[in-house]
Amino acid sequence: MHRPSSHLRRAILATVAAFALAVIPLAAQSLSAAATVPMPTGAFSQPPSVDPIAYAPTLTFDVASIREIQPAGDNPSWAIGLISPLHSCQFQAKAHAVKVLIQLAYGFAPFEISDGPDWIDTSLYNVDAKCDHSVDEQFARFTDDQAKLEKEHMLQALLADRFHLKAHWASKQANVYALELANSKSGSKLQPAKVETVDPSIPNAAPPETRGPDIQNRMDSHGHVMTVRYLTTKGMAGLFGSMLQGTVEDKTGLPGRYDFTLQYTYQSTDPDSYPTLTTAIQEQLGLKLESTRGSVDVLVIDHVEKPSEN
């Protein structure tokens, strides 16, 4: 079986990380022992820096199919995707690394992932998880925040059950990026996401389903072309963090969801290439990445196994 090149694999992992924030290996420094927070097996967990929640999610998936896949060589059009409607228990992930599944399971808070075998970064999986129809009826009654927490709990339980994931929280001081407006007076160059509306000519038409981000990445002779639909700036922080292999915090203050196309390259001396990622973000999106230093939550993996396929 072929493995994708490091640059292609980096693009794959970054693209499917739209709902989470960056994961990078720890540098040669110790974690703060005083900040270590054990994670009870089977209990819902969030990064320590996240504000405590009063709502306690309890739902789990009824059935889940997990299959490892092998990209063919350096195919730049390798298909990836994520279907996870907010008010539904449906979860379909295509070509996701375990690290990205962990990011999805622990929400939007900035955190890094430490330790664990190499394959959690390189092996890609298709995951198709479902519930009984009665659970979807419960999801329809949840608030957006409750639905998000329930979905995260379901993914955490799936990782513990099928991948036998065991981990604990710690923290460290590290360099982080702040995603900000490049020019506070002129604002960003982002376009508000196109929102589907009900056709008034259709009697009793059902309202459009709440959808998640749609991210497509391809390569041409100049570099990468990423087309993004329906993404929040918090999601952009996660996306750019994975692409830069660093932690990015959303400091834009921009509400809502956005559509954009980003043409970029990681590094190139070819004058015909697209600009580097940080330059492209500033020139094409009107945003910038400022380097700063702060405390970062770290999820330390104590144990994880490849799942048996079913």
Burial class (CB in 10 A: 0-12, 13-18, 19+), 257: buried
Tell me: pLDDT of 255 over 80: yes
What single DSSP character describes residue 29?
S
% of the chain at pLDDT higher than 70:
76
Overall pTM surpassing 0.85 (yes/no): no
Of 147, 127, 1, the closest CA to residue 85 belongs to: 147
Q: Please list, residue by residue across 88-124, b when 16 or more beta carbons sit within 10 angstroms of its beta carbon and e when fewer do.
A: bbbbbbbbbbbbbbbbbbbbbbbbbbbebeeebbebb
**pLDDT tens by residue, 221-247:** 899 999 998 889 988 998 888 788 778
**pLDDT tens by residue, 121-168:** 889 999 999 999 999 999 999 998 899 899 999 999 999 999 999 999
**pLDDT tens by residue, 36-79:** 444 544 578 888 877 788 889 999 999 999 999 876 555 544 56
DSSP string, 157-204: HHHHHHS--EEEEEEEEEEEEEEEES-TTT---PEEPP-----TTSTT
Alpha-carbon torsion angle 116, 120, 122, 123, nearest 10: 140
Quote the distance between the C-alpha of residue 80 and its chain's center: 13
Identify the three-state secondary structure at position 3: coil
In DSSP terms, which residues pair with 218 in a beta bridge? Answer: 225
The DSSP bridge pattern shows strands 111-114 and 287-303 to be parallel
